[in-house]
Amino acid sequence: MNAAVRNAQRLFHKWPNFLRISHSFYRCKGNKTHEIKLEDKECIVVYVLVKGLIPIGWDPFPRKFEGYEVDVRECMPIKMFFRSVGSGMLNIWSPVGTLQSPVPGQSNDLLALTAGHVFLSKDETDKNSKDNNSDAFHERKTSKGYQQIKEDSDIEIVFGNLTINGGEDIAHADVAVVQLESPLTSFETLWNELGLTREPTFDVHAEQCDDVRNGDIVMKYGETTKITLGRVKALEGAYDNRLGFIEIESYKNRVFSEPGDSGAYVYVLNKNMLLEEEKEDDSRFTEGKDAFLIGTIHGGNEDTIYCTKMIANLEGLRKFTNLMR
C-alpha cells in the first residue's frame, strides 16, 4: 500500500484541485451528506478542495489505482505550524518553534534542531510547494535576538523534497540546526498522569529512525502543548508537492500538537509502558530503551498532524551542511 500511495502522489499532485493524499482502512460513502457511512475497505484517499470540481481539460481521478479503490474526499488544506518570527522566538510566552537536542550522531550539547520553516518567510515556503519545484534547498541565516540561540551564529536551514533510502523514496525535509547559548534543560512530568508506568529512556541514534509502523504510539514534547501522545495512522502522507510525511492522529481524543510545537522530536513509544495498551513483544526496543526518535513536527489540520521523517532531515543536513560529514 505504501508504494501505491507514493506512486499515486507522484501522478495526482498535478491535478489543480488536489490537496493531499493518504491511505485508509475505511472507504467513505455519502461525503457532503448527512448519511456518511464508512465501509471496512482499504483504499487510497485523495483530498481535494472542492469535491465534484473537474477543471476544464483535466480528467477525473480514477476509481482504482494499482489495485486499490480511490476515495475522493473534500477537506481544508493543511497548514504548517507557522508564526512570524520575532525577537521572542522560542520564548515560552509566545513560542513559534521548539528547540530539541541532542542532534542524532552529534556529541555537542550546544547544537539543537528545530523546524526549518520557523526561520523562513511564508513566501519562501509557499514558493517551494506551488511552483512544481519542490526540491530541497539550503538557506543560511544569522541569529539576531533569538532567545536561547547564540547571537550572530549561523542557522543552517534545509527545506523541501529529497531522496532517501539510497534513492528509492522521496520525503520532505524541514529542519534547522542552531547553536545554543547553553545546553537545553530536561523537562519533568508526572508520567502516570499520561498513562505511563514510569519515565521512559530515549534513543536518539539515527540507525533506528526509519523503523516506524502503522498503529505505533508516539510521544513528543513541544513548547505549546508540552508532552502528548498520538498514534501513527499512515507512513507516506503528502500534500501539495511535499512528500513522505508520517501522519499522526490524536490518542484518546487529546490534542497532539499545535502551533509553537514545530520542530519537536517525535518518538515511537514501547506500548508495554502504557497502562491501557495490550502488552506485546517488540524487538525494536532493546538495551533498556523505551522510545526511539522518528521525526519532527511540521504542521497539521483538524484531524492529522504531519511529521517529517528524521532520516529525511538528517539526509538534508548531510547534503547541504558540514554537520553530518
Of 25, 59, 75, the position where a domain reaches its end is 75
Q: Where are the beta strands (DSSP E) in 105-199?
A: 111-114, 137-142, 154-164, 169-179
pLDDT band at 175 (very low <50, low <70, confident <90, very high): very high
- The answer to whether residues 127 and 252 belong to one domain is yes
What's the mean per-residue pLDDT of the chain? 83
- The answer to whether residues 62 and 203 belong to one domain is no
Q: What digits encode the pLDDT tens for the residues 156-166?
A: 999 999 999 88
What's the confidence (pLDDT) of residue 122? 78
- At residue 202, what is the residue type? F
d(CA 289, CA 268): 11
- The answer to whether residues 204 and 70 belong to one domain is no
Identify whether 325 is part of a domain: no
Q: What digits encode the pLDDT tens for the residues 25-66?
A: 878 876 555 566 778 888 888 888 788 888 788 888 999 999
What's the gap between Cα 148 and its chain centre?
24
- The answer to whether residues 7 and 110 belong to one domain is no
Q: What digits encode the pLDDT tens for the residues 251-292?
A: 888 889 988 889 999 999 999 888 877 788 888 887 778 999
Of 52, 75, 98, the position where a domain reaches its end is 75
- Is residue 205 within 8 A of residue 242, CB to CB? The reply is no
Looking at the structure of the chain, the number of domains it has is 2
- The answer to whether residues 68 and 101 belong to one domain is no
Residue that has been written with the C-alpha cell 501539495 in this structure: 240
d(CA 98, CA 91): 9
- Which candidate, 312, 298, 301, places its Cα nearest to that of 74? 301
What's the confidence (pLDDT) of residue 93? 37
- Which candidate, 48, 123, 56, places its Cα nearest to that of 84? 123
- The answer to whether residues 93 and 55 belong to one domain is no
- The answer to whether residues 128 and 163 belong to one domain is yes
- The domain that holds 128 is classified in CATH as 2.40.10.10
Identify whether 308 is part of a domain: yes
Residue that has been written with the C-alpha cell 457511512 in this structure: 37
- The answer to whether residues 179 and 259 belong to one domain is yes
d(CA 45, CA 271): 28
Predicted TM-score (pTM) above 0.85: no
- The answer to whether residues 254 and 115 belong to one domain is yes
Direct distance between the N- and C-terminal alpha carbons of the chain, in angstroms, rounded to an integer: 34
What is the domain extent for residue 30? 2-75
